[in-house]
Amino acid sequence: MELRERALEALCHDTWQEKADCLGALGQKTALDTASIFSAPTGIPGRPPIKLVPPAQLGLRSVHTLEGRAVLIHALAHIEFNAINLALDVIWRFANMPDKFYYDWLRVAQEECEHFGLLSQHLQTLGFQYGDFSGHDGLWEMAERTQDDVLARLALVPRTLEARGLDASPAVRHKLASGGDPAGAAIIDIILRDEIGHVAIGNHWYRWLCTERGLDPIKTYTELAATYRAPKLKGPFNIEARLAAGFDPAEIALL
């Protein structure tokens, strides 16, 4: 099966293990058809049943309790599961991009799958599993809003929502470490390392498309953020990670 078709198949699977099995068979040598246009089947995105609520209804618990740490790890696992689906969605949905575009997002999907596996296994050591707590659907809602324009998708998912994860990582790591969860803190280190690369991929292809369309990247981003109702970004910002992920000083100054 061709790469983009296989990505769509993986996206429709409900469980992490099914997605991992599907992704594990794919690589740089997988056949690729960049031109095909696929119709979205029912059941996108595939994921386990989990109660979805507005972010304000998630509630907060102290990380100095076992359940509080589990809630935080669960929230991170939920983000990573969505991130798997987001990378897979980019591969099948948007045609006529360079070959490297699709192989870049395949790597992202595979690494997001590894992140979810680490968090899910750690959650189990705390006596819980994915689905035991509620989650919100902010990441996938933005994916639906940007489903008709790859430029908007790149601007507002990897460069906005996922970049917020770079900013949040130091505080999340500190919470876990101070709450007595060094293993959880170590997983955050792995995720931050990889997510810098994922946001960098988003930055690269966003700028590539801006060049192709003759657009100014900074002005265009401001327009897209307004059109698609992107959340307003608030500090503190992880400047070091953002620079490593390819944001330029002018973009960071605007934050």
CA separation for the pair 136, 56 (Å, rounded): 9
pLDDT at position 77: 96
Asked if 12 contacts 40 with a C-beta cutoff of 8 angstroms, the reply is: no
Q: Locate 218 and state its tokens.
A: 């900074």
CA separation for the pair 143, 89 (Å, rounded): 8
pLDDT at position 182: 97
List Cα–Cα distances, 195 to 20, 28, 72, 148, 226, in angstroms: 18, 21, 18, 25, 25
Residue 135 forms beta bridges with which residues?
A: 52
Q: Which single residue is written with the structure tokens 């970049």?
A: 163
One-letter amino acid of 207: R
pTM beyond 0.85: yes
Give the distance, in angstroms, between the CA of residue 87 and the centroid of all CA atoms in the same chain. 7
Q: Which single residue is written with the structure tokens 């899910």?
A: 120
Peptide bond into 236 cis (omega under 30): yes
Q: Which phi and psi (to 5°) does residue 85 adopt?
A: -65, -35
Q: How do the pLDDT tens digits run along the chain, 255 residues long? A: 799 999 999 999 999 999 999 999 899 889 999 999 999 998 899 999 888 888 777 777 888 999 999 999 999 999 999 999 999 999 999 999 999 999 999 999 999 999 999 999 999 999 999 999 999 988 899 999 999 999 999 999 999 999 999 999 999 999 999 999 999 999 999 999 999 999 999 999 999 999 999 999 999 999 999 999 999 999 999 999 999 999 999 999 988
Asked if 254 contacts 218 with a C-beta cutoff of 8 angstroms, the reply is: yes
Domain ranges within the chain, ordered by starting residue: 3-30+46-254
